[in-house]
């Protein structure tokens, strides 16, 4: 039995974050009315430093380096590892059994080797390679793939919607409220991983319009979303690998002459120093403890 490992893309915190960001930015693809017409609302993972935005995202700030609204920012507010949220792995398997089976496939090369050996054995008089045998051979070698058991977590995200006008805030909020139709449930995906997400019931809003001050008018809304995610492995601190294991198809024990009934052939040596054979081989009977000559007599 031979084991080997194959690398694969792990599921990390960044995988969950990017899945949620892609859903808001690409899947929902929110538009609103602006002074320049019907435009897409930019989505940012929290607010980067001002120097970075001025250099790489100058479209988000005006000539005075102030943010241009509307904008949606995403912030991961908390991560919870709840012992009651274990997914499908309820039992405590321990650190040495933290892998589970996901798939298997036939190892055609090694299975073919066993079939060739069987064909030679079944070609009775004259051994022939690839002798016609039964197609259904019992000695089949399979590859079994195992991955680390996921650790389930609950991740909470905050969507902050900042606009200059009430109309813009209404258009964006209406799009978010209709996610999942009558339910608050939706699926986010990234790199082949899927996560269940739930928009919380409360949609809080705030503005500085009532103050009648000199500061820029802003309408702010906050939407909280809970994502049921999972992590596989320890990220960059551990090699994320798939364990490939092969099954056992044949068990063999070495035959010891000491415990068998077969006679042992011992060569006769006349000169031990030079190691020269000067006589025919002698057969030693283990049961009767004597040497048989050429005529079979002791």
- Give the torsion through C-alpha atoms of 82, 83, 84, 89, to 10 deg: 120
- Across the range 236-264, mean pLDDT stands at 69
- Across the range 199-207, mean pLDDT stands at 90
Question: For the chain, what are the domain ranges?
Answer: 3-86+149-244, 99-148, 257-292
Residue 190, by phi and psi: left (phi above 0), alpha (psi -120 to 50) or beta?
A: beta
Is the pLDDT score of 281 beyond 80?
no
- Across the range 271-275, mean pLDDT stands at 44
Is the pLDDT score of 185 beyond 70?
yes
Nearest to 172 by CA among 69, 75, 77, 76: 69
Rounded to two decimals, the pTM is: 0.66
Is the pLDDT score of 72 beyond 60?
yes
Q: Which residues pair with 226 in a beta bridge?
A: 156, 198
Task: Find the largest Cα–Cα distance for the chain.
Answer: 126
Query: For 3-86+149-244, CATH number?
Result: 3.30.2000.40
Nearest to 180 by CA among 172, 188, 168: 188
């Amino acid at each position: 039995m031979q084991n080997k490992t194959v690398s694969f893309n792990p599921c990390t915190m960044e995988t969950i974050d990017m899945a949620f960001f892609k859903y808001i930015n690409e899947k929902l693809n929110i538009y609103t009315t602006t002074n320049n017409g019907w435009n897409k609302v930019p989505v940012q993972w929290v607010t980067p430093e001002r120097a970075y935005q001025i250099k790489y995202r100058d479209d988000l700030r005006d000539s005075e380096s102030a943010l241009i609204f509307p904008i949606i920012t995403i912030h991961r507010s908390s991560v919870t590892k709840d012992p009651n949220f274990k997914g499908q792995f309820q039992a405590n398997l321990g650190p040495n059994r933290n892998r589970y089976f996901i798939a298997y496939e036939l190892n055609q090369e090694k299975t073919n080797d066993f079939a060739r050996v069987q064909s030679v054995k079944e070609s009775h008089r004259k051994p022939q390679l690839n002798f016609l045998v039964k197609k259904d051979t019992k000695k089949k070698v399979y590859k079994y793939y195992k991955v680390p058991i996921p650790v389930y977590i609950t991740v909470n995200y905050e969507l902050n919607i900042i606009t200059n006008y009430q109309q813009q805030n209404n258009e964006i909020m209406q799009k978010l409220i209709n996610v999942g139709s009558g339910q608050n449930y939706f699926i986010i995906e990234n790199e082949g991983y899927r996560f269940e997400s739930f928009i919380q019931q409360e949609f809080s809003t705030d503005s500085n319009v009532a103050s009648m001050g000199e500061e820029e008018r802003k309408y702010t809304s906050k939407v909280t979303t809970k994502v049921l995610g999972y992590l596989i492995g320890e990220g960059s601190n551990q090699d994320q690998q798939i364990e490939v294991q092969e099954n056992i198809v044949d068990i063999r024990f070495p035959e010891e002459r000491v415990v068998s009934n077969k006679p042992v052939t011992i060569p006769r040596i006349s000169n031990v120093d030079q190691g020269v054979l000067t006589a025919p081989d002698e057969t030693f009977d283990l049961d009767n403890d004597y040497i048989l000559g050429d005529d079979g007599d002791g």
